[in-house]
Amino acid sequence: MENRKILLREDEIPRQWYNILADIKMNPPLGPDGNPIGPDMLAPVFPMNLIEQEVSPERWIDIPEEVLSVYRIWRPTPLMRAVALEKALDTPAHIYYKNEGVSPPGSHKPNTAVAQAFYNKAFGIKRIATETGAGQWGSALSFACCQFGLECKIFMVRVSFDQKPYRKSMMEAWCGKCVPSPSTETKAGREALERDPDTPGSLGIAISEAIEAAVSDPTGETRYSLGSVLNHVMLHQTVIGLEAKIQLEKVGEYPDVVIGCAGGGSNFAGLAFPYVLDKINGKDIDIYPVEPAACPTLTRAPFVYDHGDTARYTPLIPMHSLGHAFVPPPVHAGGLRYHGMSPTVSQLVVEGLIEPKAVTQLDALDAGATFARTEGSIPAPETTHALAAVIDEAKKAKEEGKEKVILVNWSGHGLLDLGSYDKYFAGQLTNYELDDELLAASEKVFEGFPKPEILKSN
């Protein structure tokens, strides 16, 4: 009989995070003068203890006991064998999914939200400002701030704010204050509304608003928190892949293919980075980040220095980017509608250690419906992108007659995203694919910026 659920004990939660900066070379972030920035330039935005993690060269970083204590509310998360999906696809592949949807907010996001709330509290910060796309991050940070007694202000991308009203309710249940972005509360928001009063918003705009809210606090007791992209966020998420490795070892399996959806990179990195280390050390493994065809950051955008936000408050960081002014189409996978990609994930693409893929909105939701009708759980629209790639790989295994092991990060449930399924079942959704003309226009913002070196770690 197959093991459908592989569980760990609480004392088997990893005690350290894996830091991929120990094993790859990176271009540094740059300031307005084009020179590398020092930690002091980030101090108004982040607490120094997180800045130290952001630049740490240490391969393993201890997880504080206070963070582990909150993790134990839902961790370790189960590793599931998708037996019914395998049967429906008639594939010889073994499909495993790491179920991060069992956390209180319903996604992988609390893995870093709890850590960031703890480090901010330890540094003496009293309130945190942030942005959120689909609302998963805003929900997670509200939950984490509630655990540590911090105030939380969230700027939520307007199209998702309208599409997913109960996300605001969830944030408020944990005492978070959520406003649609762009808003009239910040200079960045007002300028965005002046440019386009009907804008659907973007994560780039929402990031600008949140950073402005943090650095303009006259008390100095507010900091900004980011749910993806930066190195310390990727670091905290690696608890996912480290747990998965222990779980697969218990059933004598090792993945041939590792898959995660990718917007800013955090849930993909969380599952994949521990396996990237294995690949660096010689393992034969395919690793796929999967993004929307409507926002093809990794698959079609160049590797450049760009700002992480629309108002250009952030430093220039080396990443695949569609341009900081890019406003993606209003696809329902709000958590994947970001113009840039994590510098570490981008570097792995440059080195050929991972291979990005893009899928359309309809193909993604078709995969989500297939998963729900076989495995029972309804995945978030973001997760469905990864599942579309899983199904493709399972079909390929059938064609090749190979018993592959496929591992995917099931990064969140879709119970607050049922509006997207309603429109999908009613035939009201369309595919968006970025045309070449719009792509070329969005890239004009890089003109005059420094260019990153093409580094190789080995």
Q: Say if residue 390's pLDDT is above 80.
A: yes
Q: What is the pLDDT of residue 332?
A: 61
Q: Which one-letter DSSP state was computed for residue 149?
A: T
Q: What is the pLDDT of residue 432?
A: 83
> Global pTM?
0.95
Spell out the residues 6+ positions from residue 188 whose beta carbon is closer than 8 angstroms to its own. Answer: 182, 205, 208, 209, 212, 309, 310, 311, 313
Q: Which segment of 234-248, 284-298, 301-315, 346-360 scores lowest on mean pLDDT? A: 301-315
Residue spans of the domains in the chain: they are: 5-9+64-106+232-446
pLDDT-derived band at 331, boundaries 50, 70, 90: low
Q: In what order do the strands lie in the sheet with 257-261?
A: 5-6, 79-81, 94-99, 405-410, 257-261, 286-292, 357-359
Please say if the pLDDT value at position 159 is more than 60.
yes
Structural contact between residues 378 and 419, judged by C-beta atoms closer than 8 angstroms: no
Helices (runs of H) and strands (runs of E) counted in the chain:
19, 15
Q: Is 458 a residue whose pLDDT tops 90?
A: no
User: What CA–CA distance (Å, rounded) separates 55 from 229?
Assistant: 14
Q: Is 272 helix (H, G, I), strand (E, B) or coil?
A: helix
Tell me which of 3.40.140.10, 3.40.50.1100, 3.40.50.150, 3.80.30.10 is the CATH number of domain 5-9+64-106+232-446: 3.40.50.1100
Residues in the chain: 458
Integer angstrom CA distances of residue 80 from 6, 8, 75, 167, 446: 6, 12, 14, 27, 43
Rounded to 5°, angle at Cα 345 from 171 and 32: 85
Token output for 236:
């905290």
- Check if the beta carbon of residue 230 is closer than 8 Å to that of residue 204: no
Yes or no: say if 427 and 118 are a contact pair by the CB < 8 Å rule: no
Q: Report the pLDDT value the prediction gives residue 232, as an integer from 0 to 100.
A: 97
Q: Which two tokens stand for residue 125?
A: 């910060």
Residue 174's pLDDT band (cuts 50, 70, 90): very high
Evaluate if residue 75 carries a pLDDT over 80.
yes
DSSP states of 32-83: TTSSBPPHHHHTTTS-HHHHHHHH---SEEEPPHHHHHHHTTTPSPPEEE-H
pLDDT at 13: 98
Region 118-139: mean pLDDT is 95
Local confidence band at 38 (pLDDT 50, 70, 90 cut-offs): confident
Mean pLDDT of 305-322: 91
3-state helix, strand, coil in the chain (%, to 5): 45, 15, 40
How crowded is residue 152: how many other Cβ atoms within 10 Å of its Cβ?
24
Answer for the pair 339, 321: CB distance below 8 angstroms, yes or no: yes
pLDDT digits (tens, 9 = 90+) for 130-146: 999 888 999 999 999 99
User: Coil, strand, or helix at residue 28?
Assistant: coil
Q: pLDDT class for 70, splitting at 50, 70, 90?
A: very high
Q: What is the mean pLDDT of the chain?
A: 94
Measured torsion, CA atoms of residues 331, 335, 341, 346, in degrees rounded to the nearest 10: -100
Give the pLDDT score at 333.
Answer: 63
By CB neighbour count within 10 A (0-12 exposed, 13-18 middle, 19+ buried), where does 33 fall? exposed
Q: Which residues pair with 153 in a beta bridge?
A: 129, 177
Cis peptide before 76 (omega within 30 of 0): yes
What sign does the CA torsion over 325, 326, 329, 330 have?
negative
Report the percentage of the chain scoring pLDDT > 70. 98
Q: Note the helical H segments in 101-259.
A: 110-122, 136-148, 158-163, 165-173, 187-195, 203-215, 231-237, 239-250
